[in-house]
Amino acid sequence: MERTLILFKPDAVQRGLSGEILSRFERKGLKIAGMKLMQISQELAAKHYEAHKERPFYPGLVQFMTSSPVVALALEGIGAIATCRKLMGATFGSDAEAGTIRGDYGVSRSFNLVHGSDSPEAAERELGLFFPEGLVDYDYAAYNWIYDPVEELKK
């Protein structure tokens, strides 16, 4: 099983899309391992986006991400990172395919509703930043109806 961080950004929270976005991930078969509504501090935003510190968009990005609450979500599943990125769609809403979160709800280049880890290394780092208390581990009964153990073992 793989874990990933998803953030519902301030625009998603302020537009009342948190439930709709969450339901897409759940309907796909991803397990919630952590979830909280939180206000990102300047310090956390700086750590999270430190790779972009020298880019011209960095100050605006930090200002945006600290402007309003976000929902931090830890999701788990086989191939969770790739699955979540497909559900989110292309970075810019105007480029995202219909049927994706950004394709259905976004048009802006700046306000793109969701963040998702882009690699296992990034997920581990980001989950540590947003869930320093750790994640919840439990038996998820739905896995018995989502994954065929015979087929999954072949991968």
Question: Rounded to 5 degrees, what angle do the CA atoms 132, 137, 139 make?
Answer: 165
Q: Is the pTM of this model over 0.85?
A: yes
Q: How confident is the model at residue 149 (pLDDT cuts 50, 70, 90)?
A: confident
Query: What are the pLDDT digits (tens) for 65-94?
Result: 999 999 999 999 999 999 999 999 999 999
The residue from 115, 123, 126, 130 that is catalytic is: 115
- 9-33 mean pLDDT: 98
Domains of the chain by range and CATH? 2-135 (3.30.70.141)
d(CA 79, CA 107) in angstroms, rounded, equals 27
d(CA 35, CA 55) in angstroms, rounded, equals 30
Say if residues 21 and 8 touch (Cβ distance below 8 Å): yes
Contacts of residue 48, defined as CB under 8 A and 6 or more positions apart, other chains included, come to 40, 65, 126, 129, 130
Active site residue 48: no
